[in-house]
Chain A
């Protein structure tokens, strides 16, 4: 095997004892590449479907890949070479020497004990102080997690803004409602139900919260905050599609199954003289998932 000076290794045939492998697989691959590339241009210009665009481009890439890979695998010879791994540090004066050199060069700093410690302290304090910039990223939560858009006397409206009267919701149905004027308030969304057969179990301290069998709960799951959108009519349960927390609608939305622990907050309802459903006040507990201060 002749090897030219200058680093180029040319004219090498394979190391096998047989004949050299054929070149036609690479040629076919490159042919597929050309067809694919042309096809891609045509597909693009004619606004063809994603399938044609992707298929032709994929063909071009795969053809090129097969050609190059085959070339590297079969046509470039199966030369196997060996060489040394870099020696471990104890064979070569590496890190140990580095430590010594560094110590020597940095002596000007380390020599002054007090000053260098002051330097470290100063840089440290400065670096830590910059963390305060993170405070610009957002507001402090304050009371926002404890307050929604519901106020005493807020009328219930549908997501279209239509006020909810007695006859909007037949018995056994579900209605999604918001405070009037706040149909974009994510934390205020409620699910409204209507029970006329006395199935609702009275909740201690909340006897006036469900006038005429209307009851409303927050739709934000107390587990991790998904919208509790699954209503099962036969068993009167409200379940969350995310992790299947299940709440008993007839019993204060207390959790029956799944990873939620706290019941869905109930909205105190009233019916005003004009027949509209209104809230008596905001929720008496934070809606949604629990957090430290909610205790």
Chain B
């Protein structure tokens, strides 16, 4: 091959790439983290920040899965322990996920952060079964052949509201 030909090929590949890009699937970013021994995911847009070593202050009159308040920038954040919610057993939790919930300050107590993954549309599923726990999931993503549930924050908040109302 002479240089001209090589060049042509490269350029055609580039075009091809562009074309491919156009036809490319949409990718979505998810934050994958651990609550206890379980992996969960949240769309990256729903997470504001990850904090470490935050003290949680006890709050009375709340369900047991609300561990209390965390102080972020002088504001109290309601801290959820989802393992307590799902399995009635609390985690030690060293990190807090600060969620982007409009008009409120909500945080999730988590054990560790795993990674931020880019998931193609094709690997995002909605859930078929609606059992006790899966009502809190908005779906699932397939990452490296593993299925990771995606948390549905609004559902979780709804649960808290109804629990508070009842008490």
The answer to whether A and B come from one shared complex is no
Contact residues of A with B, CB < 8 Å? none
Tell me the B residues contacting A by CB distance below 8 Å. Answer: none
